[in-house]
Structure 1
Amino acid sequence: MAGEEKNYRASTGVDEFYYGEIGDTTAATYIERVKFLQNITVEMPQEVVRAFGDNTTAELAVSNGNISVNSTFHKIPIEDKQKLLGWETVEGLTATGSNDNPPYVAVVFAKTYEDGSRQYVGLPKGMFTRPNVTGQTKGESTEFSTEEISAQFMDREIDGFSEEKSVIFGEDKKGSTTNRDAIFQKVFGKPHPDAGTPSEPEGA
């Protein structure tokens, strides 16, 4: 019997970047959103390693590399940098130093599609590193700057899976939030802030 038709539509945007501090637990102490995500790349390197014998390949094995995330935002508010990077704030001034201690966080973001569907990507446990400070002079025309931030992620025990995982995927059709809500529960241990309200792209 033929199954449901596969989805071959390509993603056209990104949205809904959320993070939450998890420490050494599997439940976030809070969930925070950073708006105006522009680009995000999840690098999942994998290499096939060969063992040789008798002048031929005797065995193949897969070597998995580190999961890393590079993201670009219109702007990352200072409050989010304080939480993500463990920066200290005193009398309204925020500082970074060699003894910064970024917390373990979980992340969820969405890839959007023209038909209104979404793919949610969950990263259960990782740590962000401080971004560079850049600036440029104003020229003849106004140009908006962007801010980039990177993180490394690791495997974590996820309820329902037999082994620890480092990335989780789930897709929802337009108007549905079933997999969105499931990923939030598994990654953050908490419901989506808008749980019970269908998630649709702006202008849909």
Structure 2
Amino acid sequence: MVKNYHATTGVDEFYYGVLNAEETGVTGTVPERIKFLQEISVSQEQSIEKAYGDNKVAEMATSNGTVEVESQFHKLPIEDRIVLFGLEKTESGLYAYGANDNPPYVAAVFAKTHEDGSKEWVGLPKGKFTKPEQSNKTKEDGVEFSSDSMSAEFMDRKVTGFSEEKSVIFGRDEKGSTAARDAIFTAVFGVAYPTSEALPTA
């Protein structure tokens, strides 16, 4: 086996979709893309639980928590905020936060890019996003662009091809290949990777 040691140098192609009632895929024909992803981290709390006897460790077991995701975008469009955070929107175009907001279960996929043109795809089968902190600053002598962040927690879900439920899925494509990308979109979203013809024109 030839191992690849090329490090990640960027992130791209963040997609999400609201899970259908059966959790076999997402609602709609194509997942939604949020452009201009700047940073994203995926972590899972993991601990080793120990049982003792005869003054020593008798057995150890691994305890896994939910998967935590922190992401930052150049801008989170209002349309995506309404969906991801479960906000109510009025006919006049207003939207609001409230105590009874209940964000939907969503699936998400993004790509980690490498300088050799290869990509590592990351799939998150089932989770919920939470509302970000609102922070703004006055304009001073120079121009500074703001950014929007959001957090999420993802849990296990049954994914075709795996014998047990999973919370994070990975796949790697060499430059010019789309096999892993296509497989991860089908597994996580239940639909094919959206081609330019399938994407909305707006």
TM-score, structure 2 as length reference: 0.93
Aligned match of 1:20: 17
Rounded to whole Å, the distance in 2 between the matches of 1:38 and 1:117 is 18
Query: What does 1:41-190 align with in structure 2 at a 5 Å threshold?
Result: 41-90=41-90, 91-190=92-191
Q: Deviations over 1:42-87 (max 9, x none)?
A: 1112111111111111001101112110100000000000111111
Give identity over the alignment, percent: 58
Unaligned runs of 5+ in 1: 197-204
Q: Deviations over 1:122-172 (max 9, x none)?
A: 000000111111100111111001110001111000111110000000000
Rounded to whole Å, the distance in 1 between the matches of 2:155 and 2:118 is 28
Query: What does 1:26-37 align with in structure 2 at a 5 Å threshold?
Result: 26-30=24-28, 31-37=31-37
Rounded to whole Å, the distance in 2 between the matches of 1:43 and 1:118 is 19
Unaligned runs of 5+ in 2: 198-202
Over the aligned positions, Cα root-mean-square deviation in angstroms equals 1.3
Letter in 1 for 2:6: R
Deviation at residue 23 of structure 1 after TM alignment: 4.0
Say if 1:11 and 1:158 are closer, same or farther in 2 by CA, change over 3 A.
same
Rounded to whole Å, the distance in 2 between the matches of 1:160 and 1:178 is 15
Rounded to whole Å, the distance in 1 between the matches of 2:20 and 2:141 is 47
Aligned match of 2:200: none
Q: Is 1:7 the counterpart of 2:4 in the alignment?
A: yes
Q: Deviations over 1:1-39 (max 9, x none)?
A: xx3x11111100000000000043221013100000000
Letter in 2 for 1:13: G
**SS at the partner of 2:84?**
helix
**SS at the partner of 1:7?**
coil
Rounded to whole Å, the distance in 2 between the matches of 1:95 and 1:23 is 24
**SS at the partner of 2:41?**
strand
Give the number of aligned pairs: 193
Rounded to whole Å, the distance in 1 between the matches of 2:194 and 2:172 is 18
Deviation at residue 195 of structure 1 after TM alignment: 8.5
Rounded to whole Å, the distance in 2 between the matches of 1:195 and 1:54 is 65
Q: Deviations over 1:67-117 (max 9, x none)?
A: 110100000000000111111111111111001111110000000000000
TM-score, structure 1 as length reference: 0.92
Q: Is the 8 A contact 1:23 1:103 kept in 2?
A: no
Rounded to whole Å, the distance in 2 between the matches of 1:23 and 1:135 is 36
